[in-house]
């Protein structure tokens, strides 16, 4: 290893740049062999790191899964086996399931912790080689509302913003996100810009008074579940004041008349009553939006993890389309991602309805393009969208799944309805778990453990 190696924090979607260097023998105060600091040249973080990134070296050697382990029943203890034996057991099981239940009884549940190349290979193995689209990932849980909203509004799931927009915006509209605590480096950048330019407005919509809300110019502590009321209420005022980008609407949108008719019913008094905030605050939010040259909205799980998450995100996107606040510096609807590579995974076909390059398994032309790229015979890729992770759980419950392969995620902590998840996993006839650590909550439900390299051990390319 050279004196220091540039790399990236693997924890969250900010992707902070790190520099890692070896600590000379006998010089470590805390027992770590590696020292980590922020990379000042990195475009997303400018040298900053949060406490998770700063202490990441502590995770390198702790509780690592070092060897393949096997047990035929969850009641048994694991025994160490060789890699050859592990791979033979896995291949035997895949062949048995294909012969007895068919390829659609094979499932893989991957992770936003995968690097893009891992994602690409894993989904190619299932969709291209094994003949089932049952490859899903945990971005299904955190980001799917944002994904669906972007696809429904724009036809593609690619956030039309970037971190440079943080220092270029006149008005940051944060809704359903405690950015100061969940994406601290993003928030530090935004806050520096906010402090440096008093004309820049920060609006925070959150029922709770979070550290993010505490420094806002306007905190709208709405009743939980009234986000759409507020957003349509702002649209109502902007329309009333004539603050709309007619050229953008005509050139780039459809259905404007219906939208304008709908928001007529969201008058400020109605919205203030539903949201349990003052009418003056609804008007001030609309005023800030109307006076800004560029508006950057940001959201995370407060919007996404909601039964109406897609509708909420679309309503926010509609505000940008109404005012042309998109496709220019400092503006746009920006979903903040929790995992490091949920977006990269979706670009690489890392969900059960997707193929690489924003393609869809349901689209015959897309399937043909990917079959050609992978040199597969026509028709090799199934036209049937694969099981989502929830449907994998249902498949275990109904004995329709003969092999579940989990990698780089801990579903016994993170899936919804954990008791149901655990009961389904107990029924699983064969669960492979590819993971860097042991024990975890999910190793307790696995038959075959495959030790994985993690962030710091990937070979340099
Ligand atoms: S903000 Fe995210 S990417 Fe940056 S150091 Fe913290 S956890 Fe890592």
Residue with the two structure tokens 């906010």: 194
> Using an 8 Å Cβ cutoff, are 229 and 253 in contact?
no
Helix, strand, coil shares of the chain, percent, nearest 5, are 45, 15, 40
In 65-166, alpha helices (H): 83-100, 116-124, 139-142, 144-154
What does pLDDT average to in each consecutive run of 10 residues of the chain (461 residues)? 81 91 74 85 94 90 95 98 98 98 98 92 97 94 88 90 96 97 95 97 98 98 98 98 98 98 98 98 98 98 92 98 98 91 89 93 97 97 97 98 97 95 98 97 98 82 56
- Distance from the alpha carbon of residue 164 to the mean position of ligand 1, in angstroms: 17
Query: Quick check: CB of 15 below 6 Å from ligand 1?
Result: yes
Please give the C-alpha separations between residue 102 and each of 97, 329, 387, in angstroms, as whole numbers. Answer: 6, 51, 14
CATH domain 69-142+343-457 topology = Rossmann fold (3.40.50)
> Using an 8 Å Cβ cutoff, are 191 and 184 in contact?
no
> What pLDDT does 141 receive?
85
Query: Quick check: CB of 36 below 6 Å from ligand 1?
Result: no
In 374-417, alpha helices (H): 389-397, 411-414
Query: Quick check: CB of 48 below 6 Å from ligand 1?
Result: no
User: What's the CA gap between 433 and 216, in Å, rounded?
Assistant: 44
User: What's the CA gap between 334 and 162, in Å, rounded?
Assistant: 8
> What pLDDT does 30 receive?
62
Instruction: Calculate Rg over the CA atoms of the chain.
Output: 24
> What pLDDT does 23 receive?
84
In this structure, the chain runs to a length of 461
Closest ligand 1 atom, residue 45 Cα: 4
Q: What is the arrangement of strands in the sheet containing 201-205, beginning at the earlier edge strand?
A: 218-220, 201-205, 171-175, 295-299, 332-335
Residue ranges per structural domain of the chain: 5-59, 69-142+343-457, 144-335
> What pLDDT does 28 receive?
67
Query: Quick check: CB of 180 below 6 Å from ligand 1?
Result: no
Q: Find the helix or strand (DSSP H, E) in which 191 lies.
A: helix 184-196
- Distance from the alpha carbon of residue 184 to the mean position of ligand 1, in angstroms: 8
Query: Quick check: CB of 141 below 6 Å from ligand 1?
Result: no
User: What's the CA gap between 276 and 222, in Å, rounded?
Assistant: 6
The SS3 call for residue 153 is helix
> What pLDDT does 457 receive?
84
> What pLDDT does 2 receive?
53
Which amino acid residue places its CA nearest to atom 2 of ligand 1? 12
Query: Which of 7, 13, 14 should be mutated for ligand 1, with most atoms under 8 A from CB?
Result: 14
CATH domain 144-335 topology = Dimethylsulfoxide Reductase; domain 2 (3.40.228)
- Distance from the alpha carbon of residue 214 to the mean position of ligand 1, in angstroms: 22
> What pLDDT does 206 receive?
98
The two structure tokens encoding residue 274: 């539903």
> What pLDDT does 59 receive?
87
> Using an 8 Å Cβ cutoff, are 249 and 235 in contact?
no
Instruction: Compute how many other C-beta atoms are within 10 angstroms of the C-beta atom of residue 251.
Output: 9
Query: Quick check: CB of 10 below 6 Å from ligand 1?
Result: no
Query: Quick check: CB of 53 below 6 Å from ligand 1?
Result: yes
For the whole model, what pTM was predicted? 0.89
Per CATH, the number for 5-59 is 2.20.25.90
């Amino acid at each position: 290893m050279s004196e220091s190696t540039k790399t990236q924090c693997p924890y969250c979607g900010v992707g902070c740049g790190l520099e890692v260097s070896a600590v000379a023998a006998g010089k470590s105060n805390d027992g770590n062999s590696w020292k980590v600091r922020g990379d000042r040249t990195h475009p997303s973080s400018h040298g900053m790191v949060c406490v998770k990134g700063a202490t990441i070296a502590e995770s390198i050697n702790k509780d690592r899964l070092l060897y393949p382990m096997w047990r035929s029943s969850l009641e048994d203890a694991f025994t160490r086996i060789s890699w050859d034996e592990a791979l033979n057991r896995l291949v035997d099981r895949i062949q048995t399931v294909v012969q007895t239940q068919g390829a659609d009884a094979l499932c893989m549940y991957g992770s936003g912790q995968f690097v893009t190349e891992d994602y690409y290979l894993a989904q190619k193995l299932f969709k291209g080689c094994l003949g089932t689209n049952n490859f899903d990932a945990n971005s299904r849980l955190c980001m799917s509302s944002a994904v669906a909203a972007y696809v429904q509004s724009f036809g593609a799931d690619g956030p039309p913003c970037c971190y440079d927009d943080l220092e270029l915006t006149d008005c940051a509209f944060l809704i359903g996100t405690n950015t100061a605590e969940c994406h601290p480096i993003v928030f530090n950048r935004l806050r520096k810009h906010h402090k440096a330019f008093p004309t820049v407005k920060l609006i925070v919509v959150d029922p709770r008074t979070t550290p993010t809300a505490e420094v806002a110019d306007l905190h709208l502590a709405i009743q939980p579940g009234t986000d759409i009321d507020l957003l349509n209420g702002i649209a109502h005022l902007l329309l009333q004041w004539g603050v709309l980008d007619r050229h953008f609407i005509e050139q780039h949108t459809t259905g404007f008349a219906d939208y304008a008719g709908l928001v007529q019913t969201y008058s400020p008094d109605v919205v203030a009553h539903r949201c349990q905030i003052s009418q003056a605050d609804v008007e001030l939010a609309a005023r800030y939006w109307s006076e800004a040259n560029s508006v950057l909205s940001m959201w995370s799980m407060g919007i996404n993890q909601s039964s109406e998450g897609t509708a909420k995100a679309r309503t926010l996107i509609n505000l940008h389309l109404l005012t042309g606040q998109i496709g220019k510096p400092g503006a746009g609807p920006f979903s903040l991602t929790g995992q490091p590579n949920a977006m990269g995974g979706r670009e690489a076909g890392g969900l059960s309805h997707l193929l690489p390059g924003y393609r869809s398994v349901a689209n015959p032309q897309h399937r043909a393009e990917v079959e050609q790229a992978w040199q597969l015979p026509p028709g090799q890729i199934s036209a049937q969208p694969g099981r989502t992770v929830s449907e994998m759980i249902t498949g275990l419950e109904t004995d329709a799944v003969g092999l579940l392969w989990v990698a780089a995620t801990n579903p016994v902590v993170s899936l919804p309805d954990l008791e149901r998840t655990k009961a389904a996993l107990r029924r699983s006839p064969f669960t492979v778990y590819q993971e860097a650590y042991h024990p975890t909550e999910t190793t307790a439900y696995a038959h075959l453990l495959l030790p994985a390299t993690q962030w710091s051990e990937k070979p340099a390319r």
